[in-house]
């Protein structure tokens, strides 16, 4: 009976996956971008489902991108590579009337989880919350800078999320999105992360650009998302085409980083393995049929269905990595899950190289140790 249920579930996963992939690749038909300088980037994002089509098949490439849509699209870029790494948490400071609110809430949860994985601690600094707060300041006509006193009742209204995104606001968004990578290159201690990022809010970091004192564009300059040279044009509104090109560069950066982290030994490899397991096990727990085959082979999915309990990969999970004895290109992830006062259990996952996954690897075997 159990085997029959697992087989039925797997068949459903395969069917939904094929339907999802077909609809995603059909989403790139826009009639108003032919010959446009950003056509290639727009079509590539549309083919991945990051840019959504509409009944009129229009993209409006030269129209401004709104703040809310910019955030939703940013989450789609992240999840295209990494997947959802934690369940979204309802944010009271986002107007409930804004329709894609859930995508923004998922983005904030993903951002916070990634920084926790990078630093190894659960601290008070929440990059998603800070990002929204400084967008609120911008919408209020204030400098995107730490005020003398913060209004604790702030929120982003439906109308604020529909207003156009400026280039300076875009730099704030990407600054917070890239906090794990900025932290990694800053060579600071985990407990100093909050004060380090606060120094940007206080504008204690110098600006590279001649036309803005704001330090956020300078902080992300090393990632080559914008083509700015000595000026940044912070007040200019970003068009949908410009934003799509920046997102495509971020997507390529994420893909490159995943490969480099898996090639590295030690801490970097362990962190990206943790991200993969969090995304994979969350997809299994929530029965996200559209993404399960991004992380598991069919055989591994069958093994997951036979586990005594669904493994919940959290910050408390202990993870060690070792190469497969028969093939050094394969890795074994040994996860120790703690279950309250009742002790714990161990699950071993084998990662095999697989070019069809954005991680470059899939879970090909799952073994539970009692």
One digit per residue, the tens of pLDDT, for the chain of length 370 reads 444 444 455 555 554 444 444 444 444 469 999 999 999 999 999 999 999 878 789 999 999 999 999 999 999 999 999 999 999 999 999 999 998 899 999 999 999 999 999 998 777 899 999 999 999 999 999 999 999 888 888 999 999 999 999 999 999 999 999 999 999 999 888 889 999 999 999 999 999 999 999 999 999 999 999 999 899 999 999 999 999 999 999 999 999 999 999 999 899 999 999 999 999 999 999 999 889 999 999 999 999 999 988 888 887 789 999 999 999 899 999 999 877 655 688 999 999 999 999 999 999 999 998 7
Domain extent, residue 183, equals 63-263
Q: Please give the structure tokens belonging to residue 200.
A: 């940007």
Residue 15 falls inside a structural domain: no
Domain end: 263, 286, 312, which one?
A: 263
> What is the pLDDT at residue 12?
53
Q: Are 148 and 216 in a shared domain? A: yes
Residue among 146, 142, 214 at smallest CA distance from 175: 214
Is 250 found in the same domain as 354?
no
Residues 6+ away with beta carbon under 8 Å from 138: 144, 166, 168, 169, 172
pLDDT at residue 149, rounded to an integer: 86
Residue 301 sits at the vertex; the CA angle it makes with 296 and 302, to the nearest 5 degrees, is 155
Question: Would you say residue 270 lies in a domain?
Answer: no
Any domain includes 2: no
Q: How far is CA 92 from the centre of its chain?
A: 21
Are the C-beta atoms of residues 175 and 220 closer than 8 Å to each other? yes
Cβ atoms of 274 and 319 within 8 Å: the answer is yes
Indicate whether 123 belongs to any domain.
yes
pLDDT value of position 316: 79
* Final residue of a structural domain among 240, 263, 286: 263
Give yes or no: residues 257 and 316 share one domain.
no
Whether residue 249 sits in one domain with residue 331? no
Residue 245 lies in a domain: yes
How many structural domains compose the chain? 2
Same domain? 72 vs 147: yes
298 and 257 both lie in a single domain: no
Residue 244 lies in a domain: yes
- Do both 218 and 91 map to the same domain? yes
Q: What is the pTM for the complete model shown?
A: 0.92
Say which residues have a Cβ less than 8 Å from residue 65's Cβ, sequence separation at least 6: 164, 165, 238, 239, 240, 242, 243
For the record, the structure tokens of 80 come out as 């295209």
Find all residues with CB under 8 Å of 335, minimum gap 6, and list them.
277, 311, 313, 317, 318, 319, 346, 347, 348, 349
Specify if 43 maps to a domain: no
Q: What is the DSSP string of 240-296?
A: HHHHHHHHHHHHHHHHHHHHHHHHS-THHHHHHHHHHHHHHHHHHHTT-TTTHHHHB
Do 303 and 236 share a domain, yes or no?
no
Q: How far apart are CA 170 and CA 235, in angstroms?
A: 10
Do both 200 and 93 map to the same domain?
Answer: yes
By the 10 Å C-beta count (0-12 exposed, 13-18 middle, 19+ buried), 189 is classed as exposed
pLDDT at 267: 94
In a domain, 5, yes or no: no
Chain mean position to CA 129: 15
Q: What is the pLDDT of residue 124?
A: 82
Residues 245 and 198 in one domain: yes
Structure-token match 């591994």, residue found: 300
Shared-domain flag, residues 228 and 334: no
Task: Report the 10 Å Cβ neighbour count for 46.
Answer: 22
- The number of residues making up the chain comes to 370
Using the 3D structure, point to which of 263, 286, 311 is the last residue of a domain: 263
Residues 188, 149 share a domain:
yes
């Amino acid at each position: 009976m159990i085997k029959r249920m697992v087989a039925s579930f797997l068949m459903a996963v395969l069917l939904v996956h094929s339907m999802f992939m077909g609809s995603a690749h059909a989403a790139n038909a826009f009639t108003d971008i032919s010959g446009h300088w950003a056509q290639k980037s727009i079509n590539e994002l549309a083919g991945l489902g990051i840019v959504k089509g509409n009944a009129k098949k229009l993209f409006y490439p030269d129209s401004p991108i709104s703040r809310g849509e910019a955030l939703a699209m940013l989450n789609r870029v992240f999840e295209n590579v990494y997947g959802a790494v934690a369940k979204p948490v309802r944010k009271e400071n986002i107007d409930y009337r804004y329709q894609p609110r859930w995508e923004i809430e998922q983005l904030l949860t993903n951002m916070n989880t990634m920084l926790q994985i990078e630093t190894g601690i659960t601290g008070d600094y929440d990059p998603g919350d800070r990002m929204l707060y400084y967008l609120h300041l911008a919408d209020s006509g204030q400098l995107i800078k730490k005020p003398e006193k913060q209004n604790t009742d702030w929120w982003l209204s439906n109308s604020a999320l529909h207003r156009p995104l400026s280039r300076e606001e875009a730099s704030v968004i990407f600054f917070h999105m890239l906090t794990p990578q900025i932290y990694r290159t800053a060579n600071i201690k985990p407990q100093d992360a909050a004060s380090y990022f606060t120094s940007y809010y206080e504008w204690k970091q110098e600006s590279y650009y001649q036309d803005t004192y704001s330090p956020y564009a300078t902080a992300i300059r090393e990632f080559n998302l914008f083509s700015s040279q000595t000026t940044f044009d912070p007040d200019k509104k970003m068009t949908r085409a410009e934003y799509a090109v920046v997102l495509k560069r971020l997507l390529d950066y994420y893909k490159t980083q995943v490969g480099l982290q898996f090639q590295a030994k030690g801490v970097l490899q362990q962190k990206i393995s943790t991200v993969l397991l969090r995304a994979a096990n969350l997809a299994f727990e929530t029965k996200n049929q559209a993404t399960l085959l991004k992380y598991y082979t069919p055989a591994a999915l069958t093994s997951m269905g036979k586990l005594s309990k669904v493994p919940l990969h959290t910050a408390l999970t202990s993870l060690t990595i070792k190469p497969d004895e028969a093939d050094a290109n394969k890795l074994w992830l040994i996860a120790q899950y703690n279950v309250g006062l009742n002790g714990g259990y161990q699950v071993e996952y084998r990662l095999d190289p697989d070019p069809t996954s954005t991680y470059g690897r899939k879970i090909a075997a799952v073994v539970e140790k009692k």
